[in-house]
Structure 1
Amino acid sequence: MEELQKGGGVTQRRPGPPTGGQAADGTGAGGAGPVPGGVPGDVTAAVERALSTAAQLWSRADQGLEPAVSPIQLRAVEAIARFGRLNLGGLAEELGAIPSSTSRLCDRLEAAGLVVREPAPADRREIIVRLTDQGERLHGELTRRRREAVREVLEQLSPTSRGRLIDALTEFGTACDRLEAAGPGAVRAAGPRTA
């Protein structure tokens, strides 16, 4: 990693050589041109590497859950837990799946005792899905394991680094939320935001 001097005498560390065919100046392989969006390649490579590592960390934390569930089943449990209850169309949208596949997924989750389907209070023709007590326990254990895995990594960082990480992740999350709310291509068309 290369150290950079920033205003006020604060030293920051920048990720080492970029991967994925991008030069350190943010151009394509061999300096072929700028990376789309004007973000330097080393920044996107560092974020990609961190997200990939976090996904692996969570995947290891997910192993050995009882009852055993597949990754797509865990995603469904997480989505239902996040919203409290979802209709099949909403769950399908959250999973990026078609409703018939989502219905079969719910069959398996219901057979495992993790979800229950019931008529919606406002419209009894609509079916909603919610977690059972067992599904809530599974989600709680999943959350506990993932947080423990992340905590172990964070303990390796200095308090100052953790503070900077919180700031960066908060800003990154806000940017992700803006993109999600604006829809595909809307933020890119408006150009980058400046502080």
Structure 2
Amino acid sequence: MEDSDGRLDPIGPLEDPRPSLAADTTAAVDLLVGLWTRTAKTGTPQLSALQLHALHTVRTTPGLNLGALAGAIGTAPSAASRLCDRLEAAGMILRAPPPTNRRTIGLTLTRRGQDALDAVSARRERLLSDVLDRMPSDKRGALLTGLRAFATASRAADPEASQPG
């Protein structure tokens, strides 16, 4: 291949690194998702990804109604209702009409629900710390810098990306 001056370029054209970067990032995210999923299913209480997402959503939006929860977690209202039945039976959420609108039922996180979220977060932090401790410190710093830039770009591309779950 020749360059713009007509000389031979022994390296050839530079390839776009984005497909490889996306594939490598996907592989790393898959590992992280596996870690995240395992921590929710181990210990007490054991929570499905959807239950965890619902608890996070109720925590960040106390008093939201069932329809809003269903929309936020991407499920049908009937499925959200059954999910709330299980979470309420486990003592993790409370359904009650908010003082401002007695015609609807609001969802709030109970102390047990908050404790469950705290326990999952603590397990995740311990597992993640174990992995990070195996990395050289300069690579941890580079990872943090990259993750901060990724979070900023992600929020700019999709404002809903900052929602937990």
Query: Relative to total residues, which structure has the larger helix share, 1 or 2?
Result: 2
* Alignment counterpart, residue 180 of structure 1, candidates 155, 158, 164: 158
Residue 116 (str. 1) matches residue 98 (str. 2): no
Distance 2:73 2:40 in 1: 18
Given that 1:77 and 1:139 are in contact with CA atoms closer than 8 Å, whether structure 2 keeps it comes out as: yes
Given that 2:40 and 2:46 are in contact with CA atoms closer than 8 Å, whether structure 1 keeps it comes out as: no
* Alignment counterpart, residue 25 of structure 1, candidates 10, 15, 21: 15
Q: TM-score scaled by structure 1?
A: 0.68
Instruction: Report the equivalent of 2:52.
Output: 74
Closer/same/farther in 2, CA of residues 155 and 25 from structure 1, 3 Å limit: same
Instruction: Report the equivalent of 2:117.
Output: 139
Closer/same/farther in 2, CA of residues 150 and 82 from structure 1, 3 Å limit: farther
Distance 1:106 1:182 in 2: 23
Instruction: Report the equivalent of 1:188.
Output: none
What count of residue pairs does the alignment treat as equivalent?
Answer: 148
Q: CA deviation at 1:51?
A: 0.7
Q: CA deviation at 1:96?
A: 0.7
Instruction: Report the equivalent of 1:44.
Output: 22
Distance 2:60 2:24 in 1: 28
Given that 1:115 and 1:130 are in contact with CA atoms closer than 8 Å, whether structure 2 keeps it comes out as: yes
Amino acid at match of 2:107: V
Q: Structure 1 unaligned runs (5+)? A: 1-23, 27-38, 184-195
Distance 2:121 2:75 in 1: 24
Residue 162 (str. 1) matches residue 152 (str. 2): no
Instruction: Report the equivalent of 1:57.
Output: 35
The higher-RCO structure (CA 8 Å, 6+ apart) is 2
Choose 1 or 2 for highest CA Rg. 2
Query: Relative to total residues, which structure has the larger strand share, 1 or 2?
Result: 1
Amino acid at match of 2:24: A
Deviations 1:14-58 (A, max 9, x none): xxxxxxxxxx934xxxxxxxxxxxx62111001101110001111
CA RMSD of aligned residues (A): 2.2
Given that 2:41 and 2:47 are in contact with CA atoms closer than 8 Å, whether structure 1 keeps it comes out as: no
Closer/same/farther in 2, CA of residues 51 and 85 from structure 1, 3 Å limit: farther
Distance 1:151 1:85 in 2: 34
Q: TM-score scaled by structure 2?
A: 0.80
What SS does structure 1 have at the residue aligned with 2:94? strand
Instruction: Report the equivalent of 1:87.
Output: 65
Instruction: Report the equivalent of 1:98.
Output: 76
Q: CA deviation at 1:85?
A: 4.2
